[in-house]
Structure 1
């Protein structure tokens, strides 16, 4: 067979497989949205869940998910950024750095349920945090670190080497070059990686079943004291997230409209994750355009 025909056949096969994959993903998303959006309303979003009655909402679960994203990013972003700066700018390429990268890859491939069990043994039992938002944030930090570290390191390495050499040639220190030249140049990729990882954290369930808990006590949204047991900002209270709520409603089925609640919550979860991805692209584009001027 001639090379032209082989190339054409291979291209058609790749396009066919890519089209099948894209259609499967779109069909799955369409099914979730078609079955879930009719159950989504302001009452559904702003009312609390009900244990044994129909007509409950997802107000607390939605807030818990967003609050948990904020707590996780506050812990994981500085750690991942420091690790990425070390690996990209300071580490000598030897067996030690290769071992560190291998450890990051292994940690990133662990199932979330395994990390959740580790968090239950260490944070919930050993550290005495019980089922709480803080325990969930710490276990999600472990889950999130490999993704953030890789994305931050890739963003830093995309900054041209000539810019580093120019800064060093002007007498700038290594740290000043990193903070004044490399980090601003890598900022679009860093922001994009942060928002994309936040979307993954928002949709996580398995690790949070063992750490953040499967129940949400009554909280006062007018109480802004984070040290108060009834405050919605208290990081030491148990908190059922949206993804855990979907799993719990489907597994227990104690409410009469469990199917409607599950479908509506799944639609809200998918839409929120899509918004995270769109926001990441938009902010990355705007920041890149600003620094390009």
Structure 2
């Protein structure tokens, strides 16, 4: 008869193997892309203007647009998502309105990005007349960000221990003071994690931005005009491989892939490290 200790050891080995396989796939995937793309990443490529016909063009405007659209979309998304998450966790009761809000959020999370892109094109590009622009892409990208941010905020707020609320209210604080000064600071690490994951996904989005931000860029760098064309790095990669005429399109695609990976890794570190620091500080203050 097999002992429970043997079963435990076998399960531990299987879990380690599963983790090593996942890590190996990730290393191979990232290593291959960086191997092909890093030689392309010169200063001229990263900051230069793109070329439609001749080899040697850069991706400077696309890199700027990627961050510009990302920042605008997060500025639109974060206040709404945090407000909705706090409402669902702290104020909403078990009624039809709450059920409808949660169902709407979950339904929005399941909508394919290309459908959101078509919706953004109909509403923002055509009906509101903003054309293929940075603001149109940002507003549509907000629809992609909201479901995840709302869910993460709600769950992060709910994980704050109940005695934190009770202690704050017992000291005479109002409901809003308790949320602002006690609950949100303790829920912040989880919210930051959700923002990081959402931003990484939005940075590599293509389908939405093809239909709303377009596949062209302004010739001015940087161009902060929200009505300017807003092709991003991911969209430019798709464009040069699908319909591009430049002879070095393979090198451009490899360079964009490596640049996107490096950018997302740096972006994640910029948010993950402060989140870990906040978690350690809060954990230390509990003792």
Q: Which moved more, 1:173-182 or 1:14-23?
A: 14-23
- 5+ residue gaps, structure 1: 222-231
1:264 partnered with 2:255: yes
Instruction: State the match for 1:252 in structure 2.
Output: 243
Instruction: State the match for 1:100 in structure 2.
Output: 101
Deviation at 1:190, TM superposition (A): 2.2
Q: 1:236 aligns with which of 227, 231, 234?
A: 227
Does the Cα contact within 8 Å between 1:196 and 1:280 map onto a contact in 2? Answer: no
Q: Which moved more, 1:92-101 or 1:170-179?
A: 92-101
Instruction: State the match for 2:192 in structure 1.
Output: 191
1:34-66 CA-partner distances (Å, limit 9, x unpaired): 000011011111111111001111100000001
Instruction: State the match for 1:41 in structure 2.
Output: 42
How large is the RMSD of aligned CA atoms in angstroms?
1.7
Q: Give 1:277-288 correspondences, 5 Å limit.
A: 277-288=268-279
Deviation at 1:110, TM superposition (A): 1.8
Does the Cα contact within 8 Å between 2:52 and 2:244 map onto a contact in 1? Answer: no
Instruction: State the match for 1:6 in structure 2.
Output: 7
Q: Give 1:118-129 correspondences, 5 Å limit.
A: 118-129=119-130
C-alpha distance in 2, partners of 1:10/1:105? 34
1:55-97 CA-partner distances (Å, limit 9, x unpaired): 1111000000010111011100000010011011111134432
Q: Which moved more, 1:1-10 or 1:209-218?
A: 1-10
Q: Give 1:127-166 correspondences, 5 Å limit.
A: 127-166=128-167
Does the Cα contact within 8 Å between 1:36 and 1:267 map onto a contact in 2? Answer: yes
Q: How many residue pairs get matched?
A: 283
Does the Cα contact within 8 Å between 1:68 and 1:136 map onto a contact in 2? Answer: yes
Does the Cα contact within 8 Å between 1:217 and 1:238 map onto a contact in 2? Answer: yes
Deviation at 1:287, TM superposition (A): 2.8
Q: Which moved more, 1:117-126 or 1:54-63?
A: 117-126
1:32 partnered with 2:33: yes
With the length of structure 2 as denominator, give the TM-score of the two structures: 0.93
| Counterpart secondary structure, 1:33 | helix
Does the Cα contact within 8 Å between 1:192 and 1:283 map onto a contact in 2? Answer: no
| Counterpart secondary structure, 2:240 | helix
C-alpha distance in 2, partners of 1:26/1:58? 26
Q: Which moved more, 1:187-196 or 1:36-45?
A: 187-196
1:123-142 CA-partner distances (Å, limit 9, x unpaired): 11111111111110011100
Change (3 A) 1:265 1:220: closer
Deviation at 1:10, TM superposition (A): 3.2
1:240-283 CA-partner distances (Å, limit 9, x unpaired): 10000000111123101111111001100011111122222101
C-alpha distance in 2, partners of 1:10/1:282? 32
Does the Cα contact within 8 Å between 1:195 and 1:279 map onto a contact in 2? Answer: no
C-alpha distance in 1, partners of 2:23/2:102? 32
Does the Cα contact within 8 Å between 1:196 and 1:276 map onto a contact in 2? Answer: no
- 5+ residue gaps, structure 2: none
Deviation at 1:220, TM superposition (A): 5.0
